[in-house]
């Protein structure tokens, strides 16, 4: 120990770190390790057969593809919503602000059922979309709608505080230097919001990948078309094929982890590039 120990107002590094690690192990690491252990009961060949079955592969594509797309859509519209909530005053602003969190609070099954009722061929919205030849419910598009719905709050809530701190003087400085509106957004505002936006994107994506309740109702669960990976796991469980279920779960875990790692890496990279880490 060095003699000049850093003085801290609130002590307890050892205690908090120990507690955090213990807690994390209990809640997260041990259950995850169990998934890998259970999977290890399979030989590699068996494992490979389970996780590359055509139906399962189709479900990966749907789950990860739609989750990324939904997170991207939420990034764009969540940013717009956060912008409107921070920058303008309008009647009902508080109400809308509260509504943003509703997808968090609503049981996902309720969301799924109401979305299905809304977008089914004879639903309020579905009947008009059907005339246009657009089918939402029981199609991959329906999965997307559900994932957008449940992921909405993440981007709004991560971007909102950064926007509130954002000084309008920066925009004024940019215009006084001759920047057009788009340039001000692209070169001044967006780079400042980007880390928060990416965090929101990552959270929305992670949530969407794991989402089950709201999706299964609207997806229709047609093999090879609208089955999501969590449904494949449940299906295996219902057939008492526990190792099969954990095998798919393992693949999901690894893929999700890689994607989140990439997003975090990107975030660190932008932070470095823009001098925020110093």
Partner 1 sequence: MSIQVRNIRKQFGAFTALDDISLDFPTGELVALLGPSGCGKTTLLRIIAGLEQADGGQVLLDGEDASDTHVRDRQVGFVFQHYALFRHMTVFDNVAFGIRMKPRRERPSEKQIADKVHELLNLVQLDWLADRFPSQLSGGQRQRIALARALAVEPRVLLLDEPFGALDAKVRKELRRWLRKLHDDLHITSIFVTHDQEEALEVADRVVLMNHGHVEQIGTPEEVYRHPATPFVYGFLGAVNFFHGRVEGEGLRVGDDHLLHAADDFGQGAEVIAFARPHELDIAVGADANQGIPARVSRVLSFGVTARVELDGLNGATGQHFEVELTRERAAELALEEGQAVRLLPSRLSIFEQGHAANAAAAGARK
The contact set with partner 1 (CB under 8 A) reads 167, 169-170, 172-180, 183, 187-188, 191-192, 274-276, 278
CB of 162 to partner 1, least distance (A): 12
Identify which of residues 101 and 172 has a Cβ nearer to partner 1 in the complex.
Answer: 172
CB closer to partner 1 out of 87 and 276: 276
**Strand, helix or coil at 34?**
helix
Helix or strand holding residue 44 (H, E): helix 44-51
**Least spacing, CB of residue 239 vs partner 1, in Å:** 53
108 or 184, CB closer to partner 1? 184
Phi, psi of 242 (to 5 degrees): -65, -40
Smallest gap from residue 85 Cβ to partner 1 (A) = 23
Residue 204 C-beta: closest distance to partner 1, Å: 23
Cβ of residue 184: shortest distance to partner 1, in angstroms? 9
Q: Write the CA distances from 231 to 62, 189, 238, 241, integer angstroms.
A: 11, 40, 10, 14
Residues in the chain: 278
Closer of 61 and 276 to partner 1 (Cβ): 276
* Tokens (6 digits) for 203: 């959270």
In angstroms, rounded to a whole number, what is the distance separating the alpha carbons of residues 30 and 24? 9
What crossing angle do the helices spanning 242-273 and 54-87 adopt, rounded to 10°?
A: 40
Nearer to partner 1, 11 or 275 (CB): 275
How far is CA 248 from each of CA 63, 151, 206, rounded to the nearest angstrom? 13, 23, 16
H or E element, residue 208? helix 190-210
């Amino acid at each position: 120990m060095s003699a000049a120990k850093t003085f801290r107002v609130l002590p307890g590094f050892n205690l908090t770190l120990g507690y955090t690690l213990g807690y994390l192990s209990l809640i997260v690491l041990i259950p995850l390790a169990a998934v890998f252990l259970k999977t290890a009961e399979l030989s590699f060949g068996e494992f490979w057969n389970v996780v590359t079955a055509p139906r399962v592969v189709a479900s990966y594509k749907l789950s990860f593809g739609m989750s990324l797309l939904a997170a991207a859509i939420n990034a764009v519209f969540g940013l717009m919503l956060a912008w409107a909530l921070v920058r303008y005053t309008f009647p009902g602003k508080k109400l809308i602000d509260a509504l943003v969190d509703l997808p968090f609070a609503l049981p996902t099954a309720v969301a799924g059922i109401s979305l299905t009722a809304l977008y089914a061929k004879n639903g309020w919205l579905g009947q008009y979309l059907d005339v246009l030849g657009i089918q939402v419910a029981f199609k991959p598009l329906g999965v997307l709608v559900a994932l957008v719905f449940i992921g909405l709050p993440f981007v709004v809530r991560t971007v909102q505080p950064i926007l509130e701190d954002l000084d309008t003087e920066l925009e004024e400085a940019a215009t006084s230097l001759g920047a057009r509106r788009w340039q001000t957004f692209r070169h001044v505002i967006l780079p400042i919001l980007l880390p928060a936006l990416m965090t929101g994107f990552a959270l929305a994506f992670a949530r969407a990948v794991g989402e089950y309740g709201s999706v299964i109702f609207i997806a229709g669960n047609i093999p090879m078309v609208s089955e999501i990976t969590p449904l494949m796991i449940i299906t295996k469980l219902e057939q008492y094929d526990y190792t099969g279920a954990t095998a798919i779960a393992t693949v999901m875990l690894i893929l999700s982890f890689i994607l989140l790692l990439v997003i975090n890496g990107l975030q660190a990279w932008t932070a470095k590039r823009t001098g925020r880490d110093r």
